[in-house]
Structure 1
Amino acid sequence: MTATYLKEACIETVDEALSVIANGANRVEFCSRLELDGLTPDIEEVKKLMQQTDIPIMVMIRPRGGNFEYNSDEVEQMKQEILEFKAIGIQGVVFGVLEGQCINEELTRALAQLASPLEVCFHKAIDDVEDPITATKTLSQIPEITRILTSGQKKTAWEGRATLMQMKDAAGEHLSIMPAGKVTSENIGKLHELLNAKEYHGRNIVIK
């Protein structure tokens, strides 16, 4: 199988971004506070990176760590951040909102429409839902959603491979399932042989 897939690197700083780009990353997801699984980064840092590379930049939109149910103030913060990043011309935004153990479809749709025409990735919040296949089908009905970042509800993409394959089938042609969870430069080939995904995500997806 030909290895034709995109490698998205998760990064926290401009220097880290430039390093992974030099080593073969095709796109970056810019976050802050990765010890909290990623929060919204400083817009000035994103601007600095944009001045130094033309590589596509996805930006995390997440106001705090913890769960993925947000109050009205947090939702307004997310909306404002989407508009601010949209205004500077990034590739897209990454967010995930739940209601209990289900996708918060109404809020997801609203945020995705606000972000349009940017790319929109629904992140690993989907790994906290009760039924990831139903959740995938729900997201597939929101045309502005571009991809889903998921480890198939396991700690690693390899452990979650069976669910990832089911999600890929449920997503249809419009929606990309992007495997994550300890995807590295060493195991991405093996994963791709099995999953044949269009894109993969990882902190160490390229050799640094």
Structure 2
Amino acid sequence: MELCANLELDGLTPSRKLIVEASRQLNIPLRIMIRPRGGDFIYSAEELKEMIASIEFCKKIGVEGVVFGILNSDGKLELGAIRQLTDMAAPLKVVFHKAIDHSINLIEGLAKLIKIKGITSVLTSGGGQTAMEGKETIKEMLQLCGDRIEIVPAGKITNKNLHELHEYFGARAYHGKRIVGDLS
């Protein structure tokens, strides 16, 4: 399960108190969103320090993994910072989130992520607003990765369209706020 706060901002780092409580009460693997603010994925040095502190806390608590994404101002992946955070997160699993969908070239970016030891998954809607809109790109990403990095299709995946999308992708995992239906 991906744990995050402020879903109206597409997910931010949850409070330490919530991370601890979720770890204590849930008997499932937790992956924690590492995102200090909403908006773009171009972070200042101070924001990167905050992300590092959050990852260190997650390691201390013993969650399964962390979820983050970083771009630079020209729309490319910020590979130096990505490597730094991935290295320091070890041995936690690292999911590169939908920031890749805001990059200027998803396939080129994915080819670079494949080379970073420690990144285990990439969450993507294939550059579209939904997984259905970006399905050709997601399929290409799945083919490029093989079993090296798990591609996790995302973007308005629900219990109503999961079967159809799975028939098309054949992915091992999917992401969606309503993937198990309405929980309210």
Whether contact under 8 Å (1:140, 1:172) holds in the other structure is no
**Structure showing greater relative contact order (alpha-carbon pairs closer than 8 Å, 6 or more residues apart):** 1
Question: 2:107 is matched with which residue: 133, 142, 150?
Answer: 133
Query: Offset of 1:168 from its aligned partner?
Result: 1.1
Post-superposition CA distance 1:137-191 (Å, at most 9, x none): 0000011001000000111101110000111122232101100000001111110
CA distance in 2, matches of 1:53, 1:60: 17
Residue among 25, 48, 68 paired with 1:52: 25
Structure 1 partner of 2:123: 149
Counterpart-to-counterpart distance in 2, 1:33 and 1:61: 12
5+ residue gaps, structure 2, are none
Give the distance between the partners of 2:27 and 2:131, measured in 1 at CA. 29
Give the structure 2 partner of residue 165 of structure 1. 139
1:36 corresponds to = 9
- Which stretches of structure 1, 4 residues or longer, exceed 4 Å deviation after superposition? none
1:79 corresponds, among 22, 37, 52, to 52
Alpha-carbon deviation of 1:34?
0.9
- Verify the 8 A CA contact 1:95 1:122 in the aligned structure 2: yes
Q: Please state if 1:201 is matched with 2:181.
A: no
Structure 1 equivalent of residue 70 of structure 2: 97
Q: Share of identical aligned residues, percent?
A: 43
How far residue 206 of structure 1 moved from its aligned partner, in angstroms, is 0.3
Q: Distance in 2 between matches of 1:184 and 1:110?
A: 34
Q: Is 1:107 paired with 2:107?
A: no
2:92 equivalent to 1:118: yes
TM-score, reference length from structure 1: 0.85
1:66-91, Cα deviation, whole Å (9 max, x unpaired): 11111111111100110011100101
Give the counterpart letter for 2:173 in structure 1. Answer: E
Q: TM-score, normalised by structure 2?
A: 0.96
**Deviation digits for residues 88-121 of structure 1, max 9, x if unmatched?**
0101000000112111111101100000110000
